[in-house]
Amino acid sequence: MTTDRAKLVQAALPILVGLLFLAGWEAFVRIEQIPVYILPGPIRIAERLWEDWDTLSDSLLVTLGVTFAALAAAVIGGGGLAILFAQSKWIEASLFPFAVILQVTPIVAIAPLILIYVPNTELALLICAWIVAFFPILSNTTLGLNSTDPNFLDLMQLYRAKRWQTLWYLRIPNAMPYFLGGLKIAGGLSLIGAVVAEFAAGTATAGTGLAYRILESSYRLDIPRMYAGLVLLSLTGILIFASFATLSWLILHRWHDSATRRER
């Protein structure tokens, strides 16, 4: 009982802090009479979000589309490459450095180039988001596939398991927690990648994603709308993280230490 109450308090606390922060913000803006084009209060931002919901939600869907398409490609690309790496040390040794190079080069710096070379803007955005999302999946899954208990490998050898059987029955399930950890990171990064690329594309081609709406609002000095777009983006990021955390729990809770509750 007491632990349930403690949990409730634990969940309520950040909400309380958030509300206090918003109330303080609103009070500050009103008392100091800050003009709306410098800092709008949360109520004004909410109103703007409501007024412009049709445009903003359409843009949100576009951004989400790019984010999830890139993420799907990252899962296939990163997971597939990790499985390829697991087949031979040589393949891993010769390709992994390039994956690292791709990862450490800031996406803001590459995005303009990609936008030049890839004529289809949507595809260019997707490639940018993919580049940032695929590395955590690749590196985590590779680690998971390689960290197999040697006793299990002995077991597979004893029963004359074929290569694909060892992969399917041992390495892949063993890598699952690592992969899901990578996925949680990649989800957020994919959104960031999509937004960054959209900003880079913003001036050149007419995109209709959320980042473009923010940019557009800034040209028009519509600060409340900028905040409204920002709020939508953060909420989306939180939602993506929460859904992958839930997915991870659903898959792992029956067996993995990271997801099992310890009874005392």
Partner 1 sequence: MDTVTNAPPLVHLEKVSKTFSNGTAAIAGLDLELRCGSFTSLLGPSGCGKSTALRMIAGLTAPSTGSVTWDRGRPELGFVFQEPTLMPWRTVWGNVFLPLRLAGLTRAQAEPRIADALARVGLTGFERSYPRQLSGGMKMRVSIARALVTHPSLLLMDEPFAALDEITRSRLNDDLLSVWAAQRLTIGFVTHSVFESVFLSDRILVMAARPGRVVADIAIDAPYPRTEAFRTSEVYNHHCRIVSKALKDAMGGQHDH
Task: Compute CA 41 distance to the chain's CA centroid, rounded to the nearest angstrom.
Answer: 28
Contact 135, 78 (CB under 8 A): yes
Q: What's the closest the beta carbon of residue 173 comes to partner 1, in angstroms?
A: 5
Name the site residues for partner 1 (rule: CB under 8 A): 149, 151-152, 154-161, 165, 169-170, 173-174, 176, 254-257, 260
Residue 169 or 199: which CB sits closer to partner 1? 169
Residue 87 or 165: which CB sits closer to partner 1? 165
Q: How many CB atoms lie within 10 A of CB 15?
A: 9
Contact 47, 225 (CB under 8 A): no
Q: What's the closest the beta carbon of residue 179 comes to partner 1, in angstroms?
A: 13
Backbone angles phi and psi of 187, in degrees to 5 = -60, -50
Q: What's the closest the beta carbon of residue 98 comes to partner 1, in angstroms?
A: 32
Inter-axis angle of helices 42-51 and 223-252, nearest 10: 80
Residue 50 or 255: which CB sits closer to partner 1? 255
Rounded CA separation 202/228 (Å)? 18
Residue 30 or 253: which CB sits closer to partner 1? 253
Q: What's the closest the beta carbon of residue 243 comes to partner 1, in angstroms?
A: 22
Residue 58 or 149: which CB sits closer to partner 1? 149
Rounded CA separation 170/66 (Å)? 33
